[in-house]
Chain A
Amino acid sequence: MKTCPYCGFDNREGVLYCEECGHPFYSQKDAVETTQLSQDAHEGFKGRMTWGTARFEEGAVLVIRIRDVPEPITLEPVRDIIIGRRDPLGGDPPDLDLSSYGAAELGVSRRHALIRRGEDTLTLVDLESTNGTFLNGQRLLPHQPRVLRDGDEVRMGRFVFNLFFK
C-alpha cells in the first residue's frame, strides 16, 4: 500500500501517480541535475518544506504554537476541529476560537479551516475562507484535504501558527 502524502488516499503498490489526486510518487525532475542557487535566491522566498512525520498515532496530541504567543495550545483531535473566530453576533463558536489572539484583524474567517483525523494522519481543509489557508507557504484549494506533518506552518490570512505532534 502506498499512502499519498498529498491527499492521504491509499493506493495500490506499483501506482506511479496517486489515483485520487494525481500527485506524482516519482518526480521526473529528480533525474535532472539540480541547479545550485546563490544565497540571495532564497531571500524573500516564503514557502518552506517540512520533513516531519505525517504519522499521527493513536493517543497523540496536537500542539499549536501561535506566532508571538508564548503559551502553546494543546488539542486532542478525536473528531473534526473547526478553526476560526467567534462571531460577536452569535452563532456556534468554532472548536478552536482564535478571536482572543487578534484573529479578526489578521483576516481569519469565522469558519476558516478544519483539521480532520484520518486513520494515521491529520488533514487540513480550507473552508472557502475569505483570505485563504496556506500550508508551508502554499495556498490550499477549498475543500481539498492536505496531509499535515509534524512541524508544519499554517497561515490563515495573516495569522501564522505551527503544528507539532506529541
Chain B
Amino acid sequence: MDASRNLYAILGIPPEATADDIREAYRMMARRFHPDANPNEGAALQFRNIVAAYDILSDPGERLRYDEARHALRSEPTPFSLRVMPSKRVLSALAEPQVLYLLLEVIPARQAAAAQRRTAPLNLTLVLDRSTSMRGQRLDKVKIAAHNIIEQLSAQDVISIVTFSDRAEVLIPATTVTDKTSLCASVSIMSAGGGTEIYHGLAAGIAECRRHLAPRMVNHIILLTDGRTFGDEERCLELAREAAAEGIGISAMGIGEEWNDQFLDALAAATGGTSAYIQSPKAVLQFLDERVRSLGNAFAERLQLTIAPDADVVLESVFRLQPTSQPIDVSPQPIQLGTLEKSRPVTVLIQLQMPPSTKTGFRTVARLDVTGDVLWSERQQHKAISDISVEIAHNPQPEEPPLAILDALGKLTLYRMQQKAEQALSDGRVQDASRQLENLATRLLAAGHEELAQKAIIEARRVSHTHALSQEGRKSLKFQTRQLLALPMPESDKR
C-alpha cells in the first residue's frame, strides 16, 4: 500500500473522520468531479484519485492498515506546500460571467530545503545545432558555453553532448564528469556544416539522456538551434511528450532570427522546460549558465499540476511566472511545471471564468493538485492539494486585488497584447495588428519600458506599411515582454 499519499486530503476530510463523514465527502466529491457531471479534463483525473482513496478509506480493514503505514511516515516533514491567492475573495452575485484569477505558489518547506545542502545531481544532455549558419562566432560561443558547463559539473553528474545538422552525431556519449580535460577537448573539435533537422538531434539526445535516466537525478535536455526545422516538428513534439512522461525535461534556446519560436515554446511547455530567445552569441553563455545553475538548485523534479475546475467553471489560461516565465497549454493535463528549486517557489497564474450566479454563499471553484518527485526524500513522490472556494454576495465591499496578482497580470497583459498583435497579423487583420502594437507601446511606455515601447512603435509602423513584422522585432518583443515577468519593476515605476 502506498502510504505516502494523503487519502484524507484527497477527500477533503480530517484523519479522524467517521465512516459517515467519509461517505458524505465521497458523495460530494463525486458530484463535483464525476465525468458525467464535469467535462473538464482535470476533473476526470481528480475523480480517479477520489475513487481510489474512497476504496481504501471506506473499508475498515484497509483503512486501519493505511493509517498504520501512514503513522510510520509521520516523522518526515512535508516537503512542499501550496499557497493560492484569488484576485477576489468575495464575488458579487451577477447575472453575467466574471473572471477570477488564482495565483498559485508551490513553496518548498524551509526545513526540508535546508536539509538538502548538496546540489542536485544532473543528468544533462546538450543537443547542439552545428548547421552551416552556426559557423563563426555562434559556434565559438557555444563551445565556450559547453566548456563552462563541464567545468561547473562534478563527479556526481552525467553529461552527454549530441550535435546535429542534417543528421545527428553523439559527440560525447553519456558519461560521468570525471575527466574534464578530455570532455572539453571533444567539444573543441565541433565544426559547422549542413542543414537543420532537429528531429534527429533530439531523438539522439533523448536516447543519451535515457541511458542514465534516474528518479533521483535532474534529467534534462538543453536544445540550442539557430534554424528552422521543416516537416518534422510534429514528430519532435511527439518525442518531447514521450520524454516528459519518462521524466525528462527539455529547454530550448533559439539564436538569431530564423528559428521557429512557436515550435520551441511548445517543445519546452510540453516538458516543463524553458524556451528563450538569444539575440547575441554572447548571451548564450549567460542563458546556459543560468539554466544549469537553476537545475542544480532543484529540490523536486517533474512537478505536475492538475487543475480541476467545478463543472460550471471554465479554465481559460495558465501561465508559469517562476522560475522562468512560460505560457502553458491548459491541455493535456497534468500540466508539466518542471523543476522546483530549493529557495524559489514555482508560481503559476491561472485564469478562470465563473458562471453567472445569483445564489449567494460560499461555493467551491476548483481543486489544484500538485505532485512532484522530491530528490532527497525517502518517500519520493509528494502530493499537495488545495481546494479553492470563494464567497458570493450581493454588493460586497469593494476589495483591492492583491498586489502580487496585479503586478504579475500587468506584465502578462503586455505579453498577451504582443501575442494578439501577432495573431491579428497572421489572420491578415493588418489594422488590428498595428493598433494592438500601438496599444502595447502605450502600455510599455506607461510602465517605464521605453526601449521596448520604441520597438513596438517601430513594428506598428512597419506593419501598417509592409503588412509584416521584422523577424528580429517580433522575437525580441515577444521574449522581452515575456521576460518582464521575471524582472522587478523598473526604477521609474517604484517611487
| Complex: chain A residue closest to B354, CB-CB | A14
Enumerate chain A residues within 8 angstroms of B99, measured Cβ to Cβ: 12-15
A44 to B248, CA, bound (A): 61
Residue of A20, A21, A31 contacting most chain B CB atoms (<10 Å): A21
**Given A15-B99, A16-B409, A143-B434, do A22 and B439 touch, yes or no (CB 8 Å)?**
yes
- Residue of A12, A21, A28, A142 near B439 (CB, 8 A) is A21
- Distance in angstroms from B167 CB to nearest chain A CB is 46
Whether B98 and A14, one on each chain, are in contact in the complex, defined by CB atoms closer than 8 angstroms, is yes
Give the contacting residue for B406; candidates A1, A13, A26; CB below 8 A: A26
- At the interface, is chain B mostly helix, strand, loop or mixed? helix
Is A32 at the interface (CB under 8 A from chain B)? yes
Within 8 A of B (CB), among A44-99: none
The answer, yes or no, to whether B100 is at the interface (CB within 8 Å) is: yes
Is B94 touching A13 in the complex (CB atoms < 8 A)?
yes
A12/B403 in contact, CB under 8 A: no
A26 touches B400 (CB 8 A): yes
Per-residue CB contact flags for chain B residues 28-59 toward chain A (1 = under 8 Å, else 0) read 00000000000000000000000000000000
Least CB separation from A144: chain B residue: B438
Q: How far is the CA of A20 from the CA of B443 in the complex (A)?
A: 12
Contact across chains for B96 and A12 when beta carbons are under 8 A apart: yes
CB proximity of A9 to chain B, nearest CB, Å? 10
Contact A28 B434 (CB under 8 A): no
Q: Considering the chains assembled together, what is the distance between the CA atoms of A21 and B438 in angstroms?
A: 9
Q: Is B14 an interface residue (CB 8 A)?
A: no
Q: Whose C-beta in chain A lies nearest to the C-beta of B406? A: A28
The complex places the Cα of A11 from the Cα of B172 at a distance, in Å, of 55
- The verdict on A14 contacting B100 (CB below 8 Å), with A22-B417, A143-B431 known, is yes
Tell me if B175 counts as interface (CB < 8 A to partner A): no
State whether the Cβ of B377 lies closer than 8 Å to any Cβ in chain A: no
A26 to chain B: which residues have CB within 8 Å? 400-401, 406
State the CA gap A26–B87 with chains docked (Å).
Answer: 12
Q: Which of B327-352 contact A (CB under 8 A)?
A: none
Interface string of B417-445 (1 = CB under 8 A from A): 10000000000000100110011111100
In the bound complex, residues from chain B placing their C-beta under 8 Å from that of A23 are: 443
CA distance A5 to B100 in the complex (A): 21
A42 within 8 A of B: no
Main secondary structure of the interface of A (DSSP, over half): loop
A157 to B413, CA, bound (A): 32
Q: Chain B nearest CB: distance from A127 CB in Å? A: 13
- Interface residue A17 (Cβ < 8 Å from any Cβ of B): yes
Chain B residues near A1: list those with CB within 8 A. 96
Indicate whether B277 reaches chain A with its CB closer than 8 angstroms.
no
Q: Which residue of B lies closest to A15 (CB)?
A: B99
Note all chain A residues with C-beta closer than 8 A to B88.
14
Greatest chain A CB density within 10 A among B431, B439, B440 is at B439
CA–CA, A58 and B210, complex, Å:
70
Q: Is the CB of B413 within 8 A of A17?
A: yes
* Residues in A whose Cβ lies below 8 Å from that of B409: 16-17
Per-residue interface assignment for chain B, residues 77 to 97, with 1 indicating a CB less than 8 Å from any chain A CB and 0 otherwise: 000000000011001101011
Determine the residue in chain A with the shortest Cβ distance to B445: A141
> Please, which residues of chain B bring their CB within 8 A of the CB of A13?
92, 94, 96-99
A7 within 8 A of B: yes
Chain A residues near B413 (CB-CB < 8 A): 17, 22
* B495 contacts A by Cβ under 8 Å: yes
| Residues of chain A at the chain B interface (Cβ within 8 Å) | 1, 7, 12-17, 20-24, 26, 28-32, 35, 141-144
Q: List 24 A-B contacts (CB under 8 A).
A: A1-B96, A12-B98, A12-B99, A12-B353, A13-B97, A13-B99, A16-B87, A16-B401, A16-B406, A21-B442, A21-B443, A24-B410, A26-B400, A26-B401, A28-B406, A28-B410, A29-B495, A32-B495, A35-B495, A141-B438, A141-B441, A141-B460, A142-B438, A143-B431
The 4 closest A-B pairs by CB, nearest first: A14-B99, A13-B98, A14-B98, A22-B443
